Amino acid sequence: MSEQTLSNLMHEDRRFEPPAGLAADANVKEEAYARADSDREAFWASAAERLDWGQKWDQVLDWSNPPFAKWFVGGTINASVNCVDRHVDAGNGDKVALHWIGEPEDDTRDITYAQLKDEVSKAANALTGLGVQKGDRVAIYMPMIPEVVVAMLACARIGAPHTVVFGGFSADALASRITDCGAKVVITADGGYRRGAPSALKPAVDEAVTKLEDDELASKVLVVRRTGQDVDWDDDRDVWWHEAVDNASADHEPELHDAEHPLFVMYTSGSTGKPKGILHTTGGYLTGTSFTHWEVFDLKDDDVYWCTADVGWITGHSYMVYGPLANGATQVMFEGTPEKGRWWQIVQDYKVTLFYTAPTAIRTFMKQGREIPDAYDMSSLRLLGSVGEPINPEAYVWYREVIGGDRCPVVDTWWQTETGQIMISPLPGVTAGKPGSAMKALPGIAADVVDDDAQSVGNGNGGYLVLKEPWPAMLRTLWGDDERFKDTYWSRWKGLYFAGDGAKLDDDGDIWLLGRVDDVMNVSGHRLSTTEIESALVSHPKVAEAAVVGAADETTGQAVCAFVILRDSAGDGGEDIVEELRKHVAKEIGAIAKPRQIMVVAELPKTRSGKIMRRLLKDVAEDREVGDVTTLADSTVMDLIKSKSSGSS
Ligand code: PRX
């Protein structure tokens, strides 16, 4: 975003006051900010008290060895008991937990909390039967079907940390995650439905297994039959879910785990090639996600909540599985992708009240035109959320007016895989929303915008977004790599967590997120690393060198643009080289990482010390006048690239 656009944005003077009814009856009111400021730990302790604990904690926060935090020290808790058993015990067993909607029309299932408890208990028994013990890791590679929720909660129940790998990732990506976290068992399905057709998953697991070097890894693969398509079968390794789980007992006595027991590892892209295994633990994570879900979405007993994220991302973990289920919410879970009208049909049919999605989806719907949503009755909606990337004011206002009937507040929620919970957001009953701004840190969260010397920039200025105090759902470390954890997040300024985002404070002190300042791209709200895609490209035998940039894209926020130099032996690579390389990236990482555009070039712009100047490549990709080239070793390189780009795909 240019300075000019930004300053125009920050003079946004539209304000949307909270609806009076919502404000009067809000779960969290203005006083919460002062209460949290006066005693942050007491504030989070009261949030933790919303959950069921075995042993209560002796200490709220142990920050004696920063940046390694321990929350609710000495407490014991079971996440799955909090997400299912306690609602059944409280007499809410008949309440619907999941209105599951499959992609094929009319393929639906309503699952109550009592049914979910039985399924989770059976799956926990089945996993134990397969030899999974407390502390063992389990990889989950599944479509959006209820069994994925059951699988996650069953792992949590027995204390086996899960690592969910998004179904769109490749066999290679799956194998590297299984290896990095040492997963003993994989849970998958024969396939899922995508855009009306079955799409296989099991073959990717079979291929991943062949790449593992240790026999202990993925020694059992539990397979849900979803599509009924043919699968290869290894009698020693593969087990059908419907045989192992359906025949298991629905009685399972849960063990209480330490508050700091690992709950899951979620891999995400960093600014270097290797994905980072973000570790979340139990008590603090569940406190942070359940409290903020109740606070930011103002959840009431009779709400129908729908978060459209895939469970393979952190949003699916925090705001589809753990937060909402710990709160006993009724929610919609949809297997499909956004097709014209289908989402709004679901809102109408299920009378959805709280809706949470990403700006990229909103921008796609804007392009399709308001006639499509206008054809549905969406009067049940009372609050809308946005996550994953900056929401531009036009998209915000369209969302509010067209989807929200001009009555629903929009909460623009900033957070990350690492933060686990929402950190910056309006409070729907308190804050007058400003289109484009995520507003303020939530009560109990300390955020600031600082300059290179870690000084607060003050209102009206831009800098780096930092977090100044620990929070319950914060990542505890990177799986198996404490040093990288310290280096990545805590080494830039002493005592401050560096999020990797640029931000500005407007004249009222409200926060505007400006996107990443590191080598991380945000494509349709998904995080991708430039270096990881560059590594994938240079692993192709025809590629000598590659540089990747995230270029602005109207719909997806950013798009992957690659510049490659081919090896001499590849000649000009042939006509299909671009498609060949795009496919190669999909194979190495997954279809989501496929470059939108690949330009074959003779040179890359480098400084005298050999560093690629991506800033200049971004200018080319965004079709702008190329910026200052004086630090280039050879300033004619850009002319060459520019002339090439005008004729390239
Ligand atoms: O750059 C920020 C952007 O997404 C990054 C985190 O990505 P990930 O870990 O995949 O989690 C996405 C879902 C929580 C952040 O560093 N981001 C997330 N939410 C917003 C955002 N940027 C602007 N506004 C947001 N509301």
- Mean pLDDT for the chain overall: 94
The domains of the chain, with CATH numbers, are: 524-645 (3.30.300.30)
Closest residue to atom 4 of ligand 1, CA basis: 388
Interaxial angle between packed helices 283-296 and 40-48, expressed in degrees from 0 to 180 and rounded to the nearest 10: 90
- Per-residue model confidence (pLDDT) at position 614: 86
Closest residue to atom 8 of ligand 1, CA basis: 416
Say what percent of the chain tops pLDDT 90: 82
Say what percent of the chain tops pLDDT 70: 97
**Which of 399, 414, 421, 511 has most ligand 1 atoms within 8 Å of CB, for mutation?**
414
- Per-residue model confidence (pLDDT) at position 10: 63
Closest residue to atom 12 of ligand 1, CA basis: 388
Give the model confidence (pLDDT) of 142-156 as tens digits: 999 999 999 999 999
- Per-residue model confidence (pLDDT) at position 3: 52
Q: Is 19 marked as a binding-site residue?
A: no
Q: What mean pLDDT is predicted for residues 568-581?
A: 85
What number does the ligand 1 atom closest to the CA of 418 have? 9
Q: Is 197 marked as a binding-site residue?
A: yes
Q: Is 531 marked as a binding-site residue?
A: no
CA of 129 to the centre of ligand 1 (A): 39
CB contact set of 45 (below 8 Å; sequence gap of 6+): 57, 60
What number does the ligand 1 atom closest to the CA of 500 have? 16
pTM to 2 decimal places = 0.93
Closest residue to atom 13 of ligand 1, CA basis: 388
Give the model confidence (pLDDT) of 613-634 as tens digits: 888 999 999 988 888 887 787 8
- Residues enclosing ligand 1, CB less than 6 A? 268, 314-315, 387-390, 412-417, 438, 499-501, 513, 515-516, 522, 527
CA of 188 to the centre of ligand 1 (A): 27
Tokens encoding 273: 């090639």
Closest residue to atom 21 of ligand 1, CA basis: 389
Residue 242 CB neighbours (<10 A): 12
**Which of 9, 527, 528, 529 has most ligand 1 atoms within 8 Å of CB, for mutation?**
527
Rounded to the nearest 10 degrees, how much is the dihedral formed by the CA atoms of 345, 350, 356, 358? -20
Decide: helix, strand or coil at residue 268: strand
